[in-house]
């Protein structure tokens, strides 16, 4: 294979001996091509019209002025007009309109180059109307627009036929003389302006011009300096470099060979306009073999491979190594063999094709491609290659799979791919490779964590894979354990290496940190822990148990070496298997006593169990030695704790050997020395856990029966007990639980706290927390409030008192009376006096602030009381005392109460229902003026209030004002306001198109436009057909139409059309009208069509509106969609096609061809 690779996109396309640049095809495909037509096009038969020189000569006939060839034709005609007063313009029009002149093949091909009149862009310096004759016949329904100088369109935005120098229909405007040209290009400059913007925007192809044409002289003066990058000319000149000096790239045919020019241009037009179905027919012959590099078939293939829409279908028609080498030679596979390359959609298509070619037995294609210098295969290719192997492994040999999986082993990282490969290689009986791959799932991953230990602020968390532990265990049990005899010993060594490495790394970061996780592991029953290490230890256990039977000497060596390993996991394994190895009882005990010890934190349970197992087998001296080691334990920093540890040893041993008198005697001696010691349920354990947290020092039952007065000082000061791993947070949680279960106990405990005047005690808060979840009677609740109602207590506990008082009032089930309401109201007034003691930082929004501060919770209590009072009195009014209270706070100019105002906003619907006049007088102004309460009241309103008809009608101007000042809102609040604004627009606004829509689109935030579209979708989902029709007729149709046609009030922003796509399935019977509008959008990139297609099918649109659904599918085919969505559209199109008429069916099939889906074969 050649090493020097060619670039597809830079190669010209050879057609009929003429090399057409690929830029022309690209410009045509992108609707960015303009054809410039000169006199040469109309000279051939049957047009037979003269060029500019011949025209000047014919005009001079009969004027007694012979055409002077030393003058340019425009100068000659100018002198003829000036000196002889000849009407050269009318004379020229008469000459060019003789009846025998007809359009020729060039005219036809130029017009056929364009699919329709919206893409047709022809500029001609000819005065004849032959192009129009053809165009009007080709496009009778929508004929092209025709422009004629001096009335020229914008050069960078036009379609149609442009007569740059006028036409025979208006002889007086024909640009013939030097004066005319001076006006067009200099004085008035209309032609120059048109050309300048045209050349900057479009790719241009000149046809029918020669280098010596005076018109070229004028045209090139208007050319910007683009070095011929997007300007080309078909020319037979023998000196093409002359054109390059003018900034035009020549496309050369044989000098004087006009037949070649005609054939080449016709073939170019056919090629550029060839439909997908015709290309598919062409591929059948084009793909039969690789053509010679100088053949036209070769260049046709080059063109196809450079076309994003054509090449996928082409690839489906080729196969084999030779084609792969061809693609590689032309640099089309390059990105697949560059590790750091950024892959595009083309690369993935080539990747899929290459996989089909190279993932076969006895195929060395991939090996050959990897021999290139600097080849380094892309990770995406590796992943797809291995996935392909897994899917097709039954057709592949074990040798092929082993060769490539081994080659890619170090670069395979995806967890689920590794699982698939394990299954694949095991099925191929590649057991060692299966274990090797499985080990990749056991590779540790480290993440930095923040510790509470001030000496070691940061430590490491260790995990193994992103796969569930249960699935990992299933992998082992399903595919590996049955062949454990092949790699058990190797597994023991590798797992030992992994766990040792983890311990070393952890201890570097935080010495001793590796023991904390290991302490939780119960080697007898690994299922009791949720540690990430469990699958690894389970595998190790099974392999070691196998090794005990097959290689006992190795197991002894391993235990002796690793019982002192820095990894506590391995220490635990060594202790667990110690009694199962060939060591004698004395050797086992000595290893424990010398290498582990009886009091090593993290291994306590393991050592306790070991001693319980071996003690009956020990002789008297060895037993005495064990007891001696237990008794000799000393901790100078904590002698009492050392005693307690000894006590736990003998409690444990006595439980296991209740008849042993020595153990009993030692336990009694310890109990006598320490009468406060009591037995633990699990003396062998270091840590007690409940739901992953340290337990409380007292259970609920114990706490409910404790002497609260006697033990209060301990309850007040207890912080933690490292020995028992108990913490204050768990104690406080237990206090809350007791309080909710036993109201009398909670009130008694509250009295104890009050008697001690511990006004800031955290116990008080947790008693209240528990009581707030209890079912209280009115008497009990009043008793609790009376105890709370103390100045010092309120001052120190204002926040929890407010918070749990509100909860207490909300959670009761008893019937309220006036006296109790008055009692709570008086208490709330007192709370309000102390509100300033709740000093909390401002949160991100006023609703959160009001929910989490006394200044907002107390007004919420007032609202609870107001509702209760209305229920008791059965009067739907705001009682006077509340009006007085609220008026005072609203009018308070010395103090700001934004939390209170926010709560009023939350209850606005409720208050408006009771007294709409008060709301209008006191609150409306906050909604529609720049004031300190503008944001708080809006944020409160949008949280819980309802937008009823009365409120909606009153709020129209408020919404408009809020939208005008939407920049004052946070992003989240602004989106919420937009949702309410949309509902106001849908239900109550009198003229949305006049006021609401323009105001919304005045802001520059695209996310609000998206939110508006989403809010309309939410409404369409819930509305019935009558409501949807009303909205459509009222303003939605006109809004959509105005934005599409006129960008009123603003053009669509990015992603807005995507949001509106989701509207379509919810329009029901309006779906056809909605689709008619939607397909007018410009094509865009779509992330997923799954939900849209699902809804269209679910709502039976394929049978209800088949043609409209097909039109939508045709539009979607023009968009940039993902490969998986192409498959979805193909499947849905098969359901739709039987319901379509022939015309609609053909259109849909052709659109599908554009995205590589050929359903014509189904016909």
pLDDT in tens, 70-108: 888 999 999 888 877 778 999 999 999 977 899 999 999
Mean pLDDT score, 440-446:
85
Domain count, the chain: 7
Q: How far apart are CA 192 and CA 183, in angstroms?
A: 10
Cβ-defined contacts of 868-872 (< 8 Å, 24+): 868/816, 868/821, 869/818, 869/821, 870/914, 871/816, 872/816, 872/817, 872/818, 872/821
pLDDT at 683: 83
Specify whether 39 is located in the same domain as 177.
Answer: yes
Specify whether 1029 is located in the same domain as 1040.
Answer: yes
pLDDT surpasses 70 at 466: no
Specify whether 309 is located in the same domain as 251.
Answer: no
pLDDT at 80: 85
For the domain that residue 192 is a member of, what is the CATH number? 3.40.50.1220
686 versus 379: the higher-pLDDT residue is 379
Question: Which domain, by its residues, includes 1089?
Answer: 1083-1163
pLDDT at 1: 37
Question: Which one-letter DSSP state was computed for residue 698?
Answer: S
Specify whether 937 is located in the same domain as 972.
Answer: no
Instruction: Report strand pairing: 458-463 vs 445-450.
Output: antiparallel
pLDDT at 452: 52
Going from the C-alpha of 37 to that of each of 107, 175, 860, the distances in angstroms are 9, 16, 80
pLDDT at 1145: 93
pLDDT surpasses 50 at 1018: yes
Q: How far apart are CA 757 and CA 1019, in angstroms?
A: 58
Enter the tokens of residue 1013: 């579209």
Q: How far apart are CA 513 and CA 501, in angstroms?
A: 13
Specify whether 262 is located in the same domain as 293.
Answer: no
pLDDT surpasses 70 at 152: yes
Domain annotation covers residue 60 = no
Specify whether 135 is located in the same domain as 240.
Answer: yes
Domain annotation covers residue 1102 = yes
pLDDT at 2: 37
Mean pLDDT score, 133-143:
91
What residues pair up with 463 in beta bridges, in sequence order?
445
Assess contact for 329 and 5: CB atoms under 8 A: yes
* Alpha helices, H only, 707-761: 708-717, 728-741, 743-755
Which of 411, 441, 471 delimits the end of a domain? Answer: 441
Specify whether 36 is located in the same domain as 181.
Answer: yes
Domain annotation covers residue 711 = no
Specify whether 832 is located in the same domain as 976.
Answer: no
Assess contact for 233 and 209: CB atoms under 8 A: yes
Specify whether 342 is located in the same domain as 300.
Answer: no
Going from the C-alpha of 1059 to that of each of 499, 1003, 1052, 1053, the distances in angstroms are 51, 19, 11, 11
pLDDT at 574: 96
Enter the tokens of residue 1163: 């016909």
Domain annotation covers residue 427 = yes
Assess contact for 361 and 398: CB atoms under 8 A: no
pLDDT surpasses 70 at 473: yes
1047 versus 945: the higher-pLDDT residue is 1047
pLDDT at 414: 86
Give the predicted TM-score (pTM) of the model. 0.60
Which of 441, 465, 482 delimits the end of a domain? Answer: 441
pLDDT surpasses 70 at 453: no
pLDDT at 514: 59
Q: Report the percentage of the chain scoring pLDDT > 70.
A: 95
3-state secondary structure of 318: coil
Domain annotation covers residue 199 = yes
Lowest mean pLDDT among 369-373, 575-579, 873-877, 882-886: 369-373
Enter the tokens of residue 138: 């080709």
Domain annotation covers residue 416 = yes
What residues pair up with 132 in beta bridges, in sequence order?
none
Assess contact for 173 and 149: CB atoms under 8 A: yes
Which of 441, 457, 487 delimits the end of a domain? Answer: 441
pLDDT surpasses 60 at 1117: yes
Q: Tens digit of pLDDT for each residue in 549-579?
A: 999 999 999 999 999 999 999 999 999 999 9
pLDDT at 457: 64
Q: Tens digit of pLDDT for each residue in 154-205?
A: 999 999 999 999 999 999 999 999 999 999 988 899 999 999 999 999 999 9
- For the chain, the average pLDDT equals 89
Residue 523 gets the label, from left (phi > 0), alpha (psi -120 to 50) or beta, of alpha
Mean pLDDT score, 856-867:
95
Domain annotation covers residue 395 = yes
Lowest mean pLDDT among 4-13, 306-315, 886-895: 4-13
pLDDT band at 1076 (very low <50, low <70, confident <90, very high): very high
Specify whether 1104 is located in the same domain as 1000.
Answer: no
Specify whether 225 is located in the same domain as 203.
Answer: yes
Enter the tokens of residue 1156: 């590589």
pLDDT band at 725 (very low <50, low <70, confident <90, very high): low
Lowest mean pLDDT among 490-499, 675-684, 769-778, 1062-1071: 675-684
Q: How far apart are CA 848 and CA 216, in angstroms?
A: 73
Cβ-defined contacts of 894-901 (< 8 Å, 24+): 896/932, 897/855, 898/846, 898/849, 898/932, 898/933, 898/936, 899/846, 899/849, 899/850, 899/853, 899/855, 899/856, 899/859, 899/936, 900/850, 900/855, 900/856, 900/859, 901/926, 901/933, 901/936, 901/937, 901/940
Domain annotation covers residue 176 = yes
Q: Tens digit of pLDDT for each residue in 612-625?
A: 999 999 999 999 99
Specify whether 27 is located in the same domain as 136.
Answer: yes
Q: Tens digit of pLDDT for each residue in 763-778?
A: 999 999 999 989 899 9
Q: Tens digit of pLDDT for each residue in 746-765?
A: 999 999 999 999 999 999 99
């Amino acid at each position: 294979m050649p090493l020097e690779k060619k670039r597809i996109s830079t190669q010209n396309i050879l057609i009929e001996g003429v090399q057409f640049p690929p830029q022309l095809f690209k410009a045509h495909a992108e609707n960015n091509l303009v054809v410039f037509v000169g006199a040469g096009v109309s000279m051939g038969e049957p047009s037979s019209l003269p060029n500019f020189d011949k025209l000047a000569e014919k005009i001079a006939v009969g004027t007694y002025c012979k055409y002077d060839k030393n003058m340019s034709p425009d100068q000659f005609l100018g002198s003829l007009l000036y000196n002889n007063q000849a009407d050269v313009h009318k004379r020229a029009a008469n000459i060019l309109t003789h009846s025998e002149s007809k359009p020729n093949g060039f005219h036809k091909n130029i017009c056929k180059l364009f699919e329709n009149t919206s893409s047709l862009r022809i500029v001609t310096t000819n005065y004849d109307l032959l192009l129009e004759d053809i165009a009007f016949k080709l496009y009778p329904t929508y004929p092209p627009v025709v422009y004629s100088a001096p009335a020229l369109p914008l050069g960078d935005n036009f379609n149609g036929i442009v007569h740059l120098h006028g036409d025979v229909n208006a002889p007086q405007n024909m640009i013939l003389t030097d004066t005319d040209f001076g006006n067009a290009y200099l004085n008035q400059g209309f032609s120059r302006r048109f050309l300048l913007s045209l050349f900057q925007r479009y790719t241009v192809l000149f046809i029918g011009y020669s280098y010596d044409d005076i018109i070229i002289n004028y045209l090139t003066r208007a050319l910007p300096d683009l070095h011929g990058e997007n300007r080309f000319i078909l020319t037979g000149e023998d000196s093409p470099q002359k054109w390059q000096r003018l900034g035009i790239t020549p496309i050369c045919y044989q000098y004087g060979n006009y037949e070649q020019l005609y054939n080449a241009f016709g073939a170019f037009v056919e090629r550029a306009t060839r439909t997908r179905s015709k290309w598919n027919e062409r591929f059948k012959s084009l793909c039969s073999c690789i053509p010679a590099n100088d053949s036209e078939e070769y260049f046709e293939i080059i063109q196809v491979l450079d076309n994003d829409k054509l090449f996928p279908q082409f690839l489906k028609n080729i196969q084999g190594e030779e084609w792969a080498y061809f693609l590689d030679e032309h640099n089309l596979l390059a990105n697949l063999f560059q590790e750091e390359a950024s892959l595009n959609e083309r690369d993935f298509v080539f990747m899929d094709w290459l996989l089909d070619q190279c993932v076969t037995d006895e195929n060395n294609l991939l090996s050959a491609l990897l021999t290139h210098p600097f080849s380094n295969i892309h990770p995406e290719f590796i992943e797809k290659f291995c996935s392909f192997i897994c899917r097709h492994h039954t057709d592949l040999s074990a040798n092929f799979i082993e060769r490539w999986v081994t080659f890619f082993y170090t670069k395979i990282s995806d967890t689920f791919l590794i699982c698939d490969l394990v299954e694949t290689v095991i099925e191929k009986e590649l057991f060692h490779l299966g274990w090797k791959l499985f080990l990749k799932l056991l590779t540790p991953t480290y993440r930095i964590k923040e510790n509470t230990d001030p000496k070691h602020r940061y430590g490491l968390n260790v995990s193994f894979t992103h796969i569930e532990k249960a699935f990992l265990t299933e992998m082992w049990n399903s595919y590996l354990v049955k062949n454990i005899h092949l790699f058990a010993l190797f597994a023991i060594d590798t797992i030992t290496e992994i766990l040792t490495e983890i311990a070393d790394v952890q201890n570097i970061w935080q010495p001793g940190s590796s023991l904390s996780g290991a302490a939780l592991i119960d080697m007898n029953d690994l299922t009791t822990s949720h540690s990430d290490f469990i699958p690894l230890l389970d595998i190790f256990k099974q392999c070691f148990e196998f090794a005990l039977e097959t290689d006992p000497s190795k197991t002894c060596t391993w235990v002796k070496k690793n019982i002192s390993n820095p990894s506590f996991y391995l220490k635990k394994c060594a202790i667990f298997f110690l009694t199962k190895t060939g060591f004698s009882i004395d050797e086992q005990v000595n290893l424990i006593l010398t290498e582990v010890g009886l009091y090593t934190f993290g291994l306590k349970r393991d050592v306790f169990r070991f001693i319980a197992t071996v003690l009956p087998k020990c002789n008297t001296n060895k037993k005495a030695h064990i007891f001696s080691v237990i008794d000799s334990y000393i901790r100078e920093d904590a002698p009492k704790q050392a005693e307690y540890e000894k006590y736990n040893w003998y409690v444990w041993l006595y439980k296991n050997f209740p008849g042993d008198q020595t153990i009993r005697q030692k336990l009694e001696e310890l109990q006598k020395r320490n009468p406060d010691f009591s037995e633990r349920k699990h003396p062998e354990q270091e840590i007690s856990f409940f739901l992953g947290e340290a337990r409380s020092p007292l259970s609920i039952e114990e706490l409910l029966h404790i002497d609260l007065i006697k033990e209060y000082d301990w309850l007040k000061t207890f912080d933690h007990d490292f020995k028992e791993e108990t913490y204050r947070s768990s104690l406080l949680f237990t206090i809350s639980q007791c309080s909710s279960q036993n109201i009398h106990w909670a009130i008694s405990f509250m009295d104890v706290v009050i008697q001690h005047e511990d006004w800031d005690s955290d116990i008080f808060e947790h008693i209240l927390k528990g009581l707030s979840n209890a079912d209280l009677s009115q008497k009990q609740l009043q008793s609790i409030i009376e105890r709370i109602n103390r100045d010092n207590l309120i001052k120190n506990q204002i926040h929890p008192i407010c918070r749990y008082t509100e909860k207490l009032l909300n959670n009761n089930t008893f019937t309220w009376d006036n006296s109790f309401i008055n009692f709570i109201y008086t208490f709330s007034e007192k709370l309000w006096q102390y509100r300033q003691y709740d000093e909390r930082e401002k949160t991100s929004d006023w609703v959160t602030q009001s929910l989490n501060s006394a200044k907002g919770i107390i007004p919420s209590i007032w609202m609870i009381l107001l509702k209760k009072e209305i229920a008791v009195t059965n009067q739907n009014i705001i009682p006077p005392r509340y009006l007085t209270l609220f008026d005072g706070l609203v009018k308070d100019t010395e103090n700001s109460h934004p939390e209170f105002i926010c709560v009023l906003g939350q209850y606005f619907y409720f208050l408006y229902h009771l007294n709409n006049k008060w709301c209008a007088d006191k609150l409306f102004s906050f909604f529609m003026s720049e004031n300190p309460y503008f944001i708080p009241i809006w944020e409160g309103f949008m949280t819980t209030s309802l937008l009823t008809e009365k409120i909606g009608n009153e709020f129209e101007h408020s919404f408009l004002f809020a939208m005008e000042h939407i920049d004052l809102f946070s992003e989240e609040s602004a989106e919420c306001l937009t949702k309410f604004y949309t509902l106001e627009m849908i239900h109550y606004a009198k003229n949305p198109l006049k006021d609401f829509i323009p105001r919304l689109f005045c802001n520059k935030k695209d996310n609000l436009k998206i939110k508006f579209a989403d809010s309309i979708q939410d409404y369409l989902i819930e509305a019935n057909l009558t409501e949807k029709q009303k909205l459509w007729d009222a303003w939605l149709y006109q809004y959509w139409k105005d934005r599409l046609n006129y960008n009123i009030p603003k053009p669509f922003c990015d992603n807005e059309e995507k949001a509106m796509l989701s509207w379509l399935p919810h329009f029901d019977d309006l779906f056809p009208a909605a689709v008619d509008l939607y397909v007018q959008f410009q094509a865009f990139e779509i992330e997923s069509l799954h939900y849209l297609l699902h809804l269209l099918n679910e709502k039976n649109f394929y049978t209800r509106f088949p043609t409209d659904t097909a039109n939508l599918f045709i539009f979607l085919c023009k968009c940039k969609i993902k490969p998986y969505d192409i498959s979805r559209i193909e499947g849905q199109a098969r359901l739709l096609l039987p319901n379509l008429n022939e015309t609609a069916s053909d259109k849909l099939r052709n659109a599908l061809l554009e995205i590589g889906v050929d359903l014509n074969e189904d016909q």
